[in-house]
Structure 1
Amino acid sequence: MALSDADVQKQIKHMMAFIEQEANEKAEEIDAKAEEEFNIEKGRLVQTQRLKIMEYYEKKEKQIEQQKKIQMSNLMNQARLKVLKARDDMISEMLNEARERLATVARDPARYPALMDGLILQGFFQLLETKVTIRCRKQDFQIVQASIQRNVPAYKDAVKTNLEVRIDQDNYLSPEISGGIELYNARGNIKVSNTLESRLDLMAQQMMPEVRVALFGANPNRKFMD
């Protein structure tokens, strides 16, 4: 039985509606899948960027922390250097004051001759020569001459050898020297400096650890006391 035109048109419309429905469903499926893939990719990109940002700021934080440590170390070193300089300045000031007081020793008639005896006799024993030349300040000539007369016999008696001593009147010590003497062997190539300044410098060098402890206290970082 042949279909009428109306039936054909009806079937065509039904097929077109079916095809359109399938197309819509397929489009919706594609859209849903695309949306899902988009969300997955977006999440991946967001996570990747979040990790990059976290790594960036973590790196920055470490750099800032390192810079803070370096800056703190520099500040501590600067402070330590300032403290050390202040201490050195204080010690230098103390030594300068001690040097200024040396002049008063040479002006004391009760102390200076006895001190000169010790400096001269010590110089004899340091040189251990048979001929010695002494240099002194011009104003100390008589004090040194008298001290030589007193101490040469004591030296001879102690070492059992002869000793000739002369005062170098052509080369006196500078008047800026506070006092004391210099002793030379016969050839002049060995010198013993027993000026008041040299004795002060030697004493300061030997006693500097004790002086620092007395002024600033013991160093907590020092392990050995010898």
Structure 2
Amino acid sequence: MEYYEKKEKQIEQQKKIQMSNLMNQARLKVLKARDDMISGFYQLLEPKVSIRCRKQDLALVQKNIPIYQASVKNNIEARIDQDNFLSPEISGGIEIYNADGKIKVSNTLESRLDLMAQQMMPEIRVALFGANQNRKFLD
């Protein structure tokens, strides 16, 4: 009986450890999403910015603007462009424009995937066609 009680306690401890790990992973995902949004703002560093997001993400973006403003510690005016929302067909993210709209930082899932595709192009080329003996640089 002692053996089974000991095993039962071990299993219970393992379950608690697993739950703790899952909760930590969930917290890290939330912090990562918030950090990604704030890093899009940091790339622009303009005193006035305009934000475009999907209509269904409007509340989330509004909630996170004060967090960004507090972290930058400058008087930054961030306005959500409610006349021009991003397409609801994209997976999510935001686009940030400076005051006159000439500078754009795209932080959408699609733009990140495009960037990854460009970075992985040499690896894809080698996987599809094999190594090219005439290439000096693998860019």
The TM tier, using the shorter chain, reads 0.5 to 0.7
1:187 aligns to 2:104 (yes or no) = no
- In structure 2, stretches of 5+ residues that fail to align are 1-25
Provide the residue aligned with 2:56 in structure 1.
Answer: 139
What is the root-mean-square deviation of aligned Cα atoms in Å? 2.5
Shift of 1:182: 0.6
Provide the residue aligned with 1:127 in structure 2.
Answer: 44
Shift of 1:113: 5.0
Provide the residue aligned with 1:152 in structure 2.
Answer: 69
1:208 aligns to 2:126 (yes or no) = no
- In structure 1, stretches of 5+ residues that fail to align are 1-108
| Percent pairwise identity | 66
Deviations 1:143-173 (A, max 9, x none): 21222222222222xxxx3212121122111
Pair 1:110–1:172, CA change in 2 (3 A): farther
Pair 1:204–1:168, CA change in 2 (3 A): same
Pair 1:168–1:111, CA change in 2 (3 A): farther
- SS of the aligned residue for 2:72 comes to helix
TM-score by length of 1: 0.44
Pair 1:214–1:133, CA change in 2 (3 A): same
Provide the residue aligned with 2:91 in structure 1.
Answer: 178
Amino acid at match of 2:117: A
Shift of 1:174: 1.0
Shift of 1:220: 2.5
Which has the larger share of strand?
2
Separation of aligned partners in 1, 2:129 and 2:98: 42
